[in-house]
Amino acid sequence: MIFFFYLTFYYFDGRWILNGIVAIIQSPVNLMTMLTVYLLSFCLKALAWKWYLHGRTRFSTCLLGVLYSLFVNHLLPIKAGDLVRMKIMSTRDGISGEDAAHSVIVLRLIDMICLIVFSIVGFCVLGIDFQIPVLLIMIGCIIFVLSMVVVVQFFPAFLKRQLELCKRAFSGRNGRLIFIAVAFSWILECAVLYGTVIIYNGNLSILEAVFANSVTVSGQIFQVTPGGIANYESFLVFALGLFGFSIQEGYTIAIVTHAVKFFFSYAAGVMAIFIYPIPFKTLLSWSRVRGVREK
């Protein structure tokens, strides 16, 4: 947040940002291509969710859940969209609350695995100097081990059910398809960044765009602003700076691409509400759920 305020104070140029937005609007083919590919990335996420549940739910329900989640995450300062996503799955297709919550959490973990792998591969392939935060990894491993000890000791039946669900979901070809769909969805998601850089006549390869997008989204694990405002811009400026973009250029591209993503999120939310209306008060109540209970 502090870095974002620093960037805004020193590098905000309303005229350049406005020119970029106007250039995107005046390039309807590029804009529609970006938004279409971006939409396809969420379709793949929905398809992976359907496969994870072994086809027990409709693709339309999965897509509605993903789009509602995106919409809510760009409305509220915390990532409450996944709670809404779980409730839509439970109420629309009758999937148990535990299965819905389990599937969403596991798919989020797969998201992070793919983003981390893309980031590490990008660092290596693109020849970027980096250091592995050994202390941070050790702390993470210790927390994970302690958490597993607590779960095994006090919630063995719960752990057994979750492992059985995972085993069933990832068995055979199904597991490979889930990982491929999620990984490819993140590759497609960089279309907004790649297309914006092209409109700005910048030089960024698809591999570099995938890397920059992966690093940026990884930095939005925790957010305190709608849509991760500040997190997104700060991390993208850092990522683009690795490829020779000035701070001014990186900041402007970050603002414009985030604006396009906000537009898409709200448009997708309107479309989802039109197809499957949910009262706004109900959405807010679902976003405040502290646990998932069976009916």
pLDDT score recorded for residue 147: 82
Residue 155 domain-assigned (yes or no):
no
Over the stretch 106-127, which tens digit does the pLDDT of each residue have?
898 899 989 989 988 888 888 7
Residue 167 domain-assigned (yes or no):
no
Residue 141 domain-assigned (yes or no):
no
- What mean pLDDT comes out for the span 203-218? 91
State percent of the chain over pLDDT 70: 96
Over the stretch 143-202, which tens digit does the pLDDT of each residue have?
888 888 887 777 777 677 777 777 776 777 888 899 999 999 999 999 999 999 988 888
Residue 216 domain-assigned (yes or no):
yes
Q: Which residue has the higher pLDDT, 185 or 295?
A: 185
* pTM to 2 decimal places: 0.86
DSSP the chain: -HHHHHHHHHH--HHHHHHHHHHHHT-HHHHHHHHHHHHHHHHHHHHHHHHHTTT-S-HHHHHHHHHHHHHHHTTSSS--HHHHHHHHHHHHH---HHHHHHHHHHHHHHHHHHHHHHHHHHHHHTT------HHHHHHHHHHHHHHHHHHHHH-HHHHHHHHHHHHHHTSTHHHHHHHHHHHHHHHHHTHHHHHHHHHTT----HHHHHHHHHHHHHTTSS-SSGGGTTHHHHHHHHHHHTTT--HHHHHHHHHHHHHHHHHHHHHHHHHHHHHS---HHHHHHHHT--S----
Residue 269 domain-assigned (yes or no):
yes
Over the stretch 227-284, which tens digit does the pLDDT of each residue have?
888 889 889 999 999 888 988 888 889 999 999 999 999 999 999 999 999 887 787 7
Q: Which domain holds residue 202?
A: 2-130+172-287
Over the stretch 21-32, which tens digit does the pLDDT of each residue have?
888 888 888 889
Q: What is the mean pLDDT of the chain?
A: 85
Residue 79 domain-assigned (yes or no):
yes
Of the candidate ranges 95-99, 128-132, 193-197, the one whose mean pLDDT is the lowest: 128-132
Residue 140 domain-assigned (yes or no):
no
pLDDT score recorded for residue 155: 72
Residue 147 domain-assigned (yes or no):
no
pLDDT score recorded for residue 289: 53
For residue 93, pLDDT over 50 is answered with yes
Q: Which residue has the higher pLDDT, 187 or 2?
A: 187
Over the stretch 50-79, which tens digit does the pLDDT of each residue have?
998 888 899 999 999 999 999 998 988 777
Total tally of structural domains belonging to the chain: 1
pLDDT score recorded for residue 221: 74
State percent of the chain over pLDDT 90: 32
